[in-house]
Amino acid sequence: MRLGVIDIGSNTVHLLIIDAHPGARPLPAASDRIELRLSEHLRDDGCIDDPGIKTLVSFTERARELAEEQGAEELVAFATSAIREAANGQEVLDTVGTASGVHVRVLSGSDEARLTFLAARRWYGWSAGTLLLVDIGGGSLEMAYGMDEEPDVAISVPLGAGRVTRDLLPGDPPKPAVVKEARKQIRARLASEVRPLVRLGAPDRAVGASKTFRSLARLGGAAPSSEGPHVVRELHRDDLADLVTKLAKMSVGERAKQPGVSVARAPQVLGGALVAEAAMDLLRIETLEICPWALREGLILRRLEALADDAG
């Protein structure tokens, strides 16, 4: 079947249309996206503002039309931390639903961690042994550990690259004292959450998912995306300290000129690097392998399972 998926993230709203069948690898057929940055549309009262809502409604309508044009039999939509935490999140979803006819499901943080873990497990297979997954989004950091498709531990922490940038890293570039304090706060927040993961011991493979990790790995010398998803890409803890130091001295404009860093992601790549460094240090990870699949693919795989169960 042909399935459309709308992913309403903290940074990007993304439509992916795939040809999907139970037991087969999902194959992308078409896509569309906008850099909406919902966190930047938050008012002082914690509500998403009218321009943000209007843009989201417009894209969702466009996504539904494209899905229909591409012959999608089903269109599913989900939202993550930006909608989940907005004071008017349900109102936003009601507005989107009324205008576009698209029902949007809000994922919990633990849902995000479990679905991304499923995607990583399917990508690497059973031979990978126990997996430790780390995923840095715009609003939150997800971590999960296990040897099956359902992780033994799934944790979400409000330490996304966009959130850290907005709350802890003012300035362009931020002053050294600001970066130092941000690093301290990130580690204090994360240290209180990682014990359930650390106590399980070293995994057989540690993997990182999300655009943030792909950008950091590219900055560390990994192959560009043009070489395809099957090239092994790694991020090494030793490289992150140097990356943080270099990125902290750069303006947003200078960061955008670095390999693997888009103009849209340049403002928050330092925040993402600080979170990645803290996670790798506190979880005692020397090397992360970058997984091409993440939350969207996990949701697709779970939906295919449900369709197979219904058919059975």
Q: How confident is the model over 42-95, as pLDDT tens digits?
A: 899 999 999 999 999 999 999 999 999 999 999 999 999 999 999 999 999 999
Q: Are strands 141-146 and 131-136 parallel, antiparallel or unpaired?
A: antiparallel
Taking residues 210-238, report their average pLDDT. Answer: 95
Cis geometry, peptide bond prior to residue 196 (ω within 30 degrees of 0): no
Question: How large is the average pLDDT for residues 8-13?
Answer: 92
Contact 132, 197 (CB under 8 A): yes
Burial profile 117-129: b = 16 or more Cβ within 10 angstroms, e = fewer: bbbbbbbbeeebe
Beta bridge partners of 136: 141
Burial of residue 256 (CB within 10 Å: 0-12, 13-18, 19+) is middle
Query: Kind and range of the H or E element at 92?
Result: helix 89-100
Mean local confidence (pLDDT), 170-193: 97
pLDDT at 286: 97
Q: What is the pLDDT of residue 37?
A: 87
| Separation CA 256–CA 11 (nearest Å) | 16
In this predicted structure, what is the pLDDT of residue 46? Answer: 92
What crossing angle do the helices spanning 269-282 and 176-191 adopt, rounded to 10°? 40
* Residue 150 pLDDT exceeds 70: yes
Q: Domains (ranges, CATH) in the chain?
A: 2-106 (3.30.420.40), 110-295 (3.30.420.150)
The chain-wide mean pLDDT, for the chain, equals 94
Q: Are 274 and 217 in contact (CB under 8 A)?
A: no
At 193, the pLDDT band (50, 70, 90 cuts) reads: very high
Alpha carbons 93 and 8: distance in angstroms, whole number: 11
At 73 the pLDDT is 92
Lowest-confidence region among 20-24, 46-50, 118-122, 133-137:
20-24
Q: What is the pTM of this model?
A: 0.94
What is the mean pLDDT of the segment spanning 13-27? 87
What pLDDT score does 312 carry?
Answer: 61
The percent of residues above 90 in pLDDT, for the chain, comes to: 90
- Find out whether 9 and 2 touch, Cβ atoms under 8 Å: no
Mean pLDDT of 235-253: 96
* Torsion (CA) 118, 121, 122, 124 in degrees, nearest 10: 160
Cβ neighbors of 112 (< 8 A, separation 6 or more) are 80, 135, 137, 140, 142, 156, 295
pLDDT over threshold 80, residue 134: yes
Q: What is the pLDDT of residue 311?
A: 65
For the CA atoms of 256, 262, 267, 273, the dihedral, rounded to the nearest 10 degrees, stands at: -100
pLDDT band at 124 (very low <50, low <70, confident <90, very high): very high
Q: Of all residues in the chain, what percent are helix, strand and coil, respectively (each to 5)?
A: 50, 20, 30
**What percent of the chain clears pLDDT 70, i.e. is strictly above it?**
99
